[in-house]
Structure 1
């Protein structure tokens, strides 16, 4: 338990920041799930549009410090690869 005023203030700041980060992480996961659902349904146009919305949100989460930069890049890369494969399968 924090005793000094500065420590009490830090616990308040940490609680606020944690809530914001939790919201950002949840938002990112929601949009990733939307892309994965579109991939699962096999609809290439829906998957492409969902990915176009999800990509900046994933990268913004890295920029804000919610996830590591390389983690975000890996997630985007793997989703892009799956979307591209679905589009290639749909056009063939």
Structure 2
């Protein structure tokens, strides 16, 4: 355990931020899983596009907060878009 007052504060801040980051990362993973599950279940085009839109929103928010890197967010969105286009039979 830290002895210095500023180090103790840093431990508290880190713990709080770790929990916040964990919740954002979990939201990102769950939103991606929902899109992929909809593709597996052969859902309607509108449903898949709605889930994709909400996943983009969640991913962008996580990147904005600094939970994930901007390039990581772009890569996730690109991979999701590619999967959705393949499912819908559009040109990738």
TM-score above 0.5: yes
**Distance in 2 of aligned mates of 1:40 and 1:6:** 50
Q: CA-atom RMSD, angstroms? A: 1.2
**Distance in 2 of aligned mates of 1:71 and 1:42:** 27
**Distance in 1 of aligned mates of 2:29 and 2:89:** 26
Give 5+ residue unaligned stretches, structure 2: none
Give 5+ residue unaligned stretches, structure 1: none
**Distance in 1 of aligned mates of 2:78 and 2:2:** 43
Q: Counterpart in 1 of 2:10?
A: 10
- Runs of 4+ in structure 1 displaced over 4 angstroms? none
Aligned residues: 89
Q: Counterpart in 2 of 1:48?
A: 49
Q: Counterpart in 1 of 2:59?
A: 58
**Distance in 2 of aligned mates of 1:38 and 1:46:** 8
Which region of structure 1 is more displaced relative to structure 2, 31-40 or 41-50? 41-50
Shift of 1:45: 2.5
What whole-Å deviation, never above 9, does each CA across 1:31-79 have from its counterpart, x for those lacking one? 1110010011122322111101110111111111111111110110111
